[in-house]
Chains A and B, each alone.
Chain A
Amino acid sequence: GQQLNQSPQSMFIQEGEDVSMNCTSSSIFNTWLWYKQEPGEGPVLLIALYKAGELTSNGRLTAQFGITRKDSFLNISASIPSDVGIYFCAGPLSGNTPLVFGKGTRLSVIA
């Protein structure tokens, strides 16, 4: 089953607002990945994090690898309508094992 917990499950925000979401686990992860999925599409990789404490940006998106290695955060600044979608955190449990995904945070942006 899922071992990553994402919150909030969903959020409705006004265009231009900043967004924060997080992902927690009871297990330690050495890599955190953030994906965005739009309707009818596969997940698209947004940001990859490889070191505890690491802060990485991709345009208006910023993600952080938590110091405890059990959490990660994704922030979106100045949201726009095309930010709408489901944001998933994911990570490999160990070694070359495939990815474990959270259940996602559904983001809706009101223009």
Chain B
Amino acid sequence: ETGVTQSPTHLIKTRGQQVTLRCSSQSGHNTVSWYQQALGQGPQFIFQYYREEENGRGNFPPRFSGLQFPNYSSELNVNALELDDSALYLCASSSRLANSYEQYFGPGTRLTVT
């Protein structure tokens, strides 16, 4: 069974730029959630994708957007990067069919905005 993978591992961007982060869900999982984790904090929910549509969104501005593909993999896009966007971005996959709230996380992408 393949776990959740994310790419890239690390990324450095300049304020105002755009970034795309990628996630491959665990095999058998159809739902992907994205979280932002600032230093010293717990993960904060950004949004969730199920059946290629956004299915719930946290308190993040529209410049945070995403996609889910037919193979359940997902992208997180952030436009007009700000310094405060520097964080660890985590992707988690789960299976709605299993009626379980258990989410399994990838290793994350560390984004630094300068």
Q: Which residues of A contact B (CB under 8 A)?
A: 2, 4, 31, 33, 35, 40-45, 48, 88, 90-92, 96-104
- Checking B48, B58, B90 against A43 with a beta-carbon cut-off of 8 angstroms, the contacting residue is B90
Q: Nearest-CB distance from A54 to chain B (Å)?
A: 14
B90 x A91 contact (CB < 8 A): no
B108: interface (CB < 8 Å): yes
B4: interface (CB < 8 Å): yes
Interface size on B, residues (CB 8 A): 26
B42 x A41 contact (CB < 8 A): no
Among residues 6 to 59 in chain B, which have CB atoms less than 8 Å away from a CB atom of chain A?
A: 6, 33, 35, 40-45, 48, 55-56, 58
B45 x A98 contact (CB < 8 A): yes
Q: Given known contacts A99-B103, A102-B42, A103-B42, what 12 new A-B pairs fall within 8 Å (CB)?
A: A4-B42, A31-B101, A33-B101, A42-B6, A43-B105, A45-B102, A96-B55, A97-B56, A98-B58, A98-B103, A99-B33, A104-B41
